[in-house]
Amino acid sequence: MSLVTIIDYGSGNLRSAANAFERQAALMDNPPGILVTADPEKVRVADRIVLPGVGAFADCAAGLNAVPGMRDVLEERVIRAGTPFLGICVGMQLLATEGREKAITPGLGWIEGAVVHLTPSNPSLKIPHMGWNTLAIQKAHALLAGIPEGLHAYFVHSYHLHTDRPGLTIATTDYGGPVTAIVGRDNIFGTQFHPEKSQALGLALISNFLTWTP
């Protein structure tokens, strides 16, 4: 049986994410195991890796760095071995070169760019951006296969990843201007929105991830 690990590094309640992955896995003929873990050795043997995250960039980066060996295992499995990887919300933001929330904090550096504050052109739009938005797909991707246009994704954030390489932006949404919704390259995929809370769109994306072979 294959294994999907959802990394627990002290960033929020992971139960809703695990429930969504377990629900979609149960629909498969040969369902993978879904494991929430803070053990780098469990991540080392995983067939797919999920990095969630809620809260401030610096706090999440510190939490990830505080798990002995986790950064090294992620580099080994995701960058060198090409294991399929999904970052969610701040877990997606951590892919960036750096975060600029209160202070400059280094990220994983897998997606060139910085996590910057949202600056909607309409001053009546509140920060944080919280609610349902449709996606504007910038380029096709296997994780979006079979997902019709017009479905809504659920966002809760005050910052987004502004990449230095536009080709790494897979989808945007509009909140007083374009906001990065999905980034990715090779075996790496990240969503600013929460797939586990995004109903039909999110569950379809999770299902695609569970069978994705980059």
Instruction: Give the DSSP letter string of 84-141.
Output: -EEEETHHHHTTEEEE-SSS-EE---SEEEEEEE---SSTTS-SSEEEEEE-EE-S--
- Is residue 80's pLDDT more than 80? yes
54-75 CB burial, b ≥16 within 10 A, e <16: bebbbbbbebbeebeebeebbe
Q: What was the pLDDT predicted at 13? A: 75
* DSSP at 145: T
- Is residue 74's pLDDT more than 90? yes
pTM: 0.97
CB 101, CB 118: distance < 8 Å: no
The CA distance from 115 to 100, in Å, is 6
Q: What's the average model confidence in pLDDT over 195-212?
A: 97
User: Pick the residue with more confidence: 164 or 86?
Assistant: 86
Q: What phi, psi does 200 have (nearest 5°)?
A: -60, -45
Active site residues: 89, 194, 196
- Is residue 76's pLDDT more than 90? yes
Task: Please list the residues that pair with 174 across neighbouring strands.
Answer: 178
- Is residue 97's pLDDT more than 90? yes
Percent over 70 (pLDDT), the chain: 100
Q: What was the pLDDT predicted at 11? A: 85
Helix (H) or strand (E) holding 43: helix 40-44
Q: Is the dihedral of CA 154, 13, 98, 122 positive or negative?
A: positive
Q: What was the pLDDT predicted at 192? A: 98
- Is residue 150's pLDDT more than 80? yes
Q: What was the pLDDT predicted at 102? A: 85
Half-sphere exposure of 116 (CA within 13 A, CB side): 12
Q: What was the pLDDT predicted at 169? A: 98
